[in-house]
């Protein structure tokens, strides 16, 4: 793949290089983790200085699109999962929207007695049995998220459902439960031994913990969900609009 720079253009050279690099990393041959040509080669090919190339590369490194390692070179960063605060989607929908193929690595269904916090959320007695669904999911190559979900007992979920299907599809089509509202909390943590082992990272690696409270159209609680994400595979975007 060859690119060129218009030296007569009013657009600054570094901006042209930045645009070129953005197009380059979207090309099939430069997808996830591919090495880019080095600064010297790019500068020679484009007829510009290495400083100009470096300026454009630095911008994309700062944005997390490229990863630079001394002695190795500059690689295209693996696409991370991105979700927006105002755009609530199920995990399956988020992955589909991002063009990411998902694999289920493990799935466990069990019954637990509700502790004080979960009982308070569901407004049920402490100790009442509720269903717990654990899912380890990710790309075909490796898992990047571990989910733990608890469901209100009125829903009637059992261990016989096919939980490889999208969860909210099961709720709506099989149990006539529609989910409408999600309230979320995002926090940063160290993985710890258990989560680190599940996600294939060290216990001291950073993770993002996503706590989700899900309600039906009548405001009744449906699901309490905990998601533990590898920090190198997930990003969260918040869009704020100022009222004028």
**CA 223, CA 182: separation in Å to the nearest integer?**
9
| Stated pTM of the model | 0.64
Among candidate residues 42, 57, 76, the one where a domain is terminated: 76
Number of domains observed in the structure of the chain:
2
Q: Which of 22-26, 64-68, 119-123 has the lowest mean pLDDT?
A: 64-68
Question: Looking at residue 67, which CATH number applies to its domain?
Answer: 1.10.10.10
Q: How does 186-209 read in b/e, with b if 16+ C-beta sit within 10 Å?
A: beeeebeeebbebbebeeebebbe
The conformational region for residue 70 under phi > 0 = left, psi -120 to 50 = alpha, else beta, is beta
Does residue 166 share a domain with residue 112? yes
Question: Looking at residue 88, which CATH number applies to its domain?
Answer: 3.40.1410.10
Arithmetic mean of pLDDT over the chain: 84
Does residue 227 share a domain with residue 126? yes
Binned at pLDDT 50, 70 and 90, residue 228 comes out as very high
Report yes or no on 199 lying in a domain.
Answer: yes
Going by C-alpha positions, the residue among 174, 129, 122 that lies closest to residue 152 is 122
**CA 147, CA 135: separation in Å to the nearest integer?**
5
Binned at pLDDT 50, 70 and 90, residue 113 comes out as very high
Q: What's the rounded mean pLDDT across residues 218-225?
A: 91
Among candidate residues 60, 76, 92, the one where a domain is terminated: 76
Report yes or no on 89 lying in a domain.
Answer: yes
Does residue 19 have a pLDDT over 70? Answer: yes
Does residue 129 share a domain with residue 179? yes
Q: Which residue has the higher pLDDT, 90 or 149?
A: 149
Does residue 165 share a domain with residue 72? no
Going by C-alpha positions, the residue among 171, 168, 165, 164 that lies closest to residue 104 is 164
Q: Which of 76-90, 121-135, 193-207, 222-236 has the lowest mean pLDDT?
A: 76-90
Interval 53-100: pLDDT, tens: 888 888 787 667 788 887 788 888 776 554 544 455 566 666 666 677
Contact 13, 20 (CB under 8 A): no
What one-character-per-residue DSSP string does 163-194 give?
A: TTS-HHHHHHHHH-----EEEEEEEEEE-HHH
**CA 205, CA 54: separation in Å to the nearest integer?**
30
Does residue 133 share a domain with residue 60? no
Does residue 97 share a domain with residue 25? no
**CA 144, CA 138: separation in Å to the nearest integer?**
5
Among candidate residues 50, 76, 102, the one where a domain is terminated: 76
Does residue 85 share a domain with residue 173? yes
Does residue 135 share a domain with residue 47? no
- Give the range of the structural domain holding residue 47, as residue numbers without chain letter: 13-76
Interval 1-10: pLDDT, tens: 567 778 888 8
């Amino acid at each position: 793949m060859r690119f060129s720079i218009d030296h007569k253009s009013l657009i600054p050279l570094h901006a042209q290089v930045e645009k070129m690099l953005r197009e380059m990393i979207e090309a099939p041959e430069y997808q996830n983790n591919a090495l880019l040509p080095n600064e010297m080669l790019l500068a020679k090919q484009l007829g510009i200085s290495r400083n100009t190339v470096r300026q454009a590369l630095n911008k994309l490194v700062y944005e997390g699109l490229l990863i630079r390692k001394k002695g190795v070179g500059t690689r295209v960063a693996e696409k991370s999962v991105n979700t927006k605060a105002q755009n609530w989607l199920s995990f399956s929908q988020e992955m589909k929207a991002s063009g990411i193929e998902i694999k289920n690595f493990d799935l466990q269904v069990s019954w637990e007695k509700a502790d004080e916090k979960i009982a308070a959320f569901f407004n049920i007695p402490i100790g009442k049995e509720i269903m717990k669904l654990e899912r380890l999911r990710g790309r075909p190559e490796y898992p990047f998220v571990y989910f733990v979900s608890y469901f209100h007992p009125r829903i009637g979920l059992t261990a016989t459902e096919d939980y490889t299907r999208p969860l909210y599809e099961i709720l709506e089509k099989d149990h006539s439960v529609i989910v409408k509202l999600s309230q979320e909390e995002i926090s940063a943590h160290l993985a710890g031994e258990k989560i680190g082992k599940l996600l294939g990272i060290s216990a001291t690696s950073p993770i993002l913990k996503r706590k989700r409270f899900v309600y039906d159209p009548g405001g009744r609680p449906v699901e309490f969900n905990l998601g533990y994400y590898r920090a190198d595979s997930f990003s969260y975007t918040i869009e704020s609009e100022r009222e004028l």
